[in-house]
Amino acid sequence: MNVWQEVYDGGAAGYAAVLEPTLLAHAERLVQLSGAGPGTRLLDLATGTGTVARLAAARGAAVVGIDASPEMLEIGLRLAPELDLRVADACALPFPDAVCDVVTCGLAVTHFVDLETALAEVRRALRPGGTFVASAWADRGSSPARIVGELVDRYAAPAEHLDERTWAAPARGVEILEGAGFTRVSAETHSFDCAFGDADAALAWVVASPVTASRLARLDPERRELLYREARDALAGARLTGSFSFNYYVATR
C-alpha cells in the first residue's frame, strides 16, 4: 500500500467538502500554466478528487488522472464520470515512454517518498519538449488557518514523508527539478484571497486536511481538545480573511 493511501482514503470526504472548493483558484492557475488545450495529452499526478483533471478536460485536453487513494478517485468519478481516473503509483507509472505532452501535479510533490524516482518517471512519460507543472504551498500566505497550523505543529508529531519546507522555497524547488534533468525551469508565486465565516470554520478547514487529521488522530483526546480550545481562542481575536499562497514550478523535458 502507498504510504499516503490510508491517510487520503480516510480524509477524502472532508477534503472534497471543505478544502477542495477553497482551492479552485489554485487549480485554475495550474491548468493555465500547463497550456492544456485541444489535443493536449495530459497526465495529472496525485489527482485526488480530480479538480485539475476536470479543468484540463474542460479546455479540451485528453486527460488521465492517477492517485494512490481509491476513495479520492471515487469522489472524482462521481463528480465527473467521464474522466479517466486510475489508481496508480507515481513512482511506477503504468504508461509507455513519451506518451504525454504535459504532466501536472497539484500540491503533491511534497508527498513523494522517493522523489528521485517520481521525477524520473515524469520525465520518462513526457515527450521531448513536454511540460511539467507542479505546485506547492508557499510561505507568503496570511490565512487565519495558519494560526491553527502553527498550533498543530506545536501539539502533534510531524507528518512522515511530507516535505513542504523544501518546496516552499522557490529557488530550492528549481534546483531540485534542474538536478532531475529538467530544463527551462521557472518558479512563480501566486496568492488568492480567502475568508472564513467564523473561528470554527477556520478550524474545520485545517482539520479537513487528510494529513492534519491523521496527525491529530494520534493525539490523546484531552490534548487534542486542548489544541482546539487554544485555536478557537487565538482565532477569536484574529482577522478571518487573508490569502493562500502557492509556488508554481514549470519545467521542460
Residue 161: the pLDDT is: 86
Q: What residues are paired with 100 via a beta bridge?
A: 126
Domain that holds residue 38: 5-140+161-195+244-252
Evaluate whether residue 149 is within a structural domain: no
Evaluate whether residue 204 is within a structural domain: no
Give the number of other Cβ atoms within 10 Å of residue 35's Cβ.
15
Evaluate whether residue 227 is within a structural domain: no
Q: Quick check: 237 and 177 in contact, CB under 8 A?
A: no
227 — phi, psi (to 5°)? -60, -45
Residue 1 clears pLDDT 70, i.e. is over it: no
* One-character DSSP codes across 91-133: TS-SS-TT-EEEEEEES-GGG-TTHHHHHHHHHHHEEEEEEEE
Evaluate whether residue 31 is within a structural domain: yes
pLDDT digits (tens, 9 = 90+) for 54-63: 999 999 999 9
178 — phi, psi (to 5°)? -65, -40
Q: Where are the beta strands (DSSP E) in the chain?
A: 41-45, 62-67, 84-87, 100-106, 126-137, 183-195, 241-252
CATH number at residue 99: 3.40.50.150
Q: Quick check: 8 and 71 in contact, CB under 8 A?
A: yes
200 — phi, psi (to 5°)? -65, -35
Q: Report the number of distinct structural domains present in the chain.
A: 1
pLDDT digits (tens, 9 = 90+) for 148-199: 999 999 999 998 889 999 999 999 999 999 999 999 999 999 999 999 999 9
Q: Strands of 241-252's sheet, edge to edge?
A: 84-87, 62-67, 41-45, 100-106, 126-137, 241-252, 183-195
Evaluate whether residue 221 is within a structural domain: no
Evaluate whether residue 47 is within a structural domain: yes
Place 141 in a pLDDT band, splitting at 50, 70 and 90: confident
pLDDT digits (tens, 9 = 90+) for 94-116: 999 999 999 999 999 999 999 99
Cell of residue 173, nine digits: 524547488
Evaluate whether residue 223 is within a structural domain: no
Share of the chain above pLDDT 90, in %: 91
Evaluate whether residue 191 is within a structural domain: yes
